[in-house]
Amino acid sequence: MTKCENVLFVGLVLTPVRRLGSAHAMSGSEQAAGHCRYRARSAPKLYGQWNHLIRWVVSVINVDGAPTLVCNEPAPRSPCIHHGKNFMAGIARSRRYLLVFARSHDSCTPYARVTTFSRWCGVLAAIAALAGAAPRPAVSVDRVVIVSVDGLRPDFLLLGRTPAIKDLMEHGSYTLVARTIDEGYTVPSHVSMLTGVVPSRHGVTWNRHIEQAYPQVPTLFELARRAGYTTAFAVGKTKLIVLTRPGTLDRTYIGNEDETDALDVARAASGFVHAEPAPGVLFVHFGDVDDAGHAAGWGSPEQLEALEKVDRAFEIVRRALRDRHLIERTVIILTADHGGVGTEHPPEDLRSQLIPWIVSGPSVREGFDLTSVKDLSIDTMATFATTCALLGIDIPATIDGRNVPAILNLTTQAR
Opening angle at CA 137, ends 134 and 142, nearest 5: 115
CA distance 370 to 358: 9
User: Is the entire prediction scored with pTM above 0.85?
Assistant: no
Which residue, of 130, 152, 175, is where some domain finishes? 130
**210 and 121 in a common domain:** no
Digit-coded pLDDT (tens) for 394-412:
998 899 999 999 999 865 4
Question: Count of residues for the chain?
Answer: 415
CA distance 135 to 391: 10
Nearest to 194 by CA among 3, 385, 406: 385
Backbone angles phi, psi at 304, to 5 degrees: -65, -35
**185 and 109 in a common domain:** no
Find out whether 330 and 141 touch, Cβ atoms under 8 Å. Answer: yes
Q: Is 328's pLDDT higher than 70?
A: yes
| Mean pLDDT, rounded, of the chain | 75
239 lies in a domain? yes
Find out whether 386 and 407 touch, Cβ atoms under 8 Å. Answer: yes
Q: Is 62's pLDDT higher than 80?
A: no
88 pLDDT band (50/70/90 cuts)? Answer: very low
Q: Is 244's pLDDT higher than 70?
A: yes
Q: Is 257's pLDDT higher than 70?
A: yes
Amino acid making up residue 326: L
pLDDT of residue 142: 96
CA distance 196 to 219: 8
CA distance 343 to 277: 41
- The total number of structural domains in the chain stands at 2
| E strand segments, 150-250 | 172-179, 231-235
Q: Is 302's pLDDT higher than 60?
A: yes
Nearest to 170 by CA among 332, 323, 384, 303: 332
Tell me the average pLDDT across 186-199. 98
Backbone angles phi, psi at 278, to 5 degrees: -65, 145
CA distance 66 to 168: 38
Nearest to 145 by CA among 277, 281, 270: 281
- CATH number for the domain spanning 148: value is 3.40.720.10
**74 and 147 in a common domain:** no
Which residue, of 130, 158, 177, is where some domain finishes? 130
Nearest to 112 by CA among 2, 212, 218, 25: 2
**318 and 192 in a common domain:** yes
136 lies in a domain? no
39 lies in a domain? yes
CA distance 151 to 102: 46
- Give the other-Cβ count within 10 Å of 33's Cβ: 13
Which residue, of 102, 130, 158, is where some domain finishes? 130
pLDDT of residue 140: 79
331 lies in a domain? yes
Amino acid making up residue 273: V
CA distance 298 to 304: 9
CA distance 386 to 69: 19
**339 and 288 in a common domain:** yes
**121 and 175 in a common domain:** no
pLDDT of residue 19: 32
Digit-coded pLDDT (tens) for 353-378:
999 999 999 999 999 999 999 999 99
**155 and 102 in a common domain:** no
CA distance 100 to 125: 9
**321 and 269 in a common domain:** yes
**148 and 296 in a common domain:** yes
**285 and 202 in a common domain:** yes
**96 and 147 in a common domain:** no
**80 and 179 in a common domain:** no
336 lies in a domain? yes
Residue-wise DSSP of 280-294: SEEEEEE-HHHHHHH
161 lies in a domain? yes
407 lies in a domain? yes
Q: Is 53's pLDDT higher than 90?
A: no
135 lies in a domain? no
Range of the domain at 370: 143-414
